[in-house]
Amino acid sequence: MQLLAGLAIAAPLALGLLTTPSAPQGHQVFRFDDPAIVEASALVVDRGLFLTTNDSGDTGRVFAVDDAGHTVGVTHWSTDPTDTEALAPAGHGFVWVGDIGDNFGRRPSVEISRIPVGPGVRTVHPTTYHLTYPDGATDAETLLRDPTTGRLYIASKNVFGGVLYAVPEHLDPLRDNELRPIGRVLPVATDGSFFPDGRHVLIRNYSTAVVYAWPSLQPVGSFALPHEQQGEGIAVGPDGSVYVSSEGARSPVLRVTLPAEIRAAVQPVSAGPPAPSSSASGNPAASRSDPAAAEPATRDPWPWVAGGLLALVALLLLVRAVRPR
| Cis peptide bond N-terminal to 324, omega within 30 | no
Could you tell me which residue, 17 or 173, shows the higher pLDDT?
A: 173
Continuous segment of H or E residues that includes residue 3 = helix 2-19
Q: What is the pLDDT of residue 313?
A: 46
Report the candidate in 54, 34, 32, 52 with the shortest Cα–Cα distance to residue 43: 52
Q: Compute the half-sphere exposure of residue 315: CA atoms within 13 Å on the CB side of its CA.
A: 11
Enter the DSSP assignment of 291: G
**What are the φ and ψ backbone dihedral angles of 99, each rounded to 5 degrees?**
-90, 75
Q: What is the pLDDT of residue 32?
A: 98
Q: What is the pLDDT of residue 293?
A: 61
Q: Distance between CA 312 and CA 246 in Å, rounded?
A: 28
Q: Distance between CA 271 and CA 132 in Å, rounded?
A: 38
Instruction: Judge whether residue 317 has pLDDT over 80.
Output: no
Q: What is the pLDDT of residue 24?
A: 59
* Contact of 91 with 46, CB cutoff 8 Å: no
Report the candidate in 18, 31, 4 with the shortest Cα–Cα distance to residue 246: 31
Q: What is the pLDDT of residue 285?
A: 39
Q: Distance between CA 257 and CA 243 in Å, rounded?
A: 9
Class for domain 26-300, per CATH? mainly beta
* Contact of 178 with 134, CB cutoff 8 Å: yes
Q: Distance between CA 83 and CA 66 in Å, rounded?
A: 25
Q: What is the mean pLDDT of residues 228-233?
A: 95
- 3-class SS at 178? strand
At 22-78, the pLDDT tens digits run 445 689 999 999 999 999 999 999 999 999 999 988 999 999 999 999 999 999 999
Q: Distance between CA 108 and CA 110 in Å, rounded?
A: 7
Q: What is the pLDDT of residue 289?
A: 59
* Contact of 85 with 100, CB cutoff 8 Å: yes
Q: Distance between CA 113 and CA 53 in Å, rounded?
A: 13
Enumerate residues 6+ apart whose C-beta is below 8 A from 7: 159, 311, 314, 315, 318
- 3-class SS at 150? coil
Q: Distance between CA 321 and CA 64 in Å, rounded?
A: 44
- 3-class SS at 101? coil
Q: What is the mean pLDDT of residues 263-271?
A: 84
Q: Where are the domains of the chain?
A: 26-300
Q: Distance between CA 78 and CA 60 in Å, rounded?
A: 4
Report the candidate in 165, 166, 129 with the shortest Cα–Cα distance to residue 282: 129
At 272-316, the pLDDT tens digits run 454 444 433 344 334 445 676 655 443 444 444 444 455 444 444
H helix runs in 276-301, sequence order = none
At 115-174, the pLDDT tens digits run 999 999 999 999 999 999 999 999 999 999 999 999 999 999 999 999 999 999 999 999
Q: What is the pLDDT of residue 57?
A: 87
Q: What is Dmax (Cα atoms) for the chain? A: 65
Q: Distance between CA 79 and CA 61 in Å, rounded?
A: 9
Q: 10 Å Cβ neighbour count for 203?
A: 24
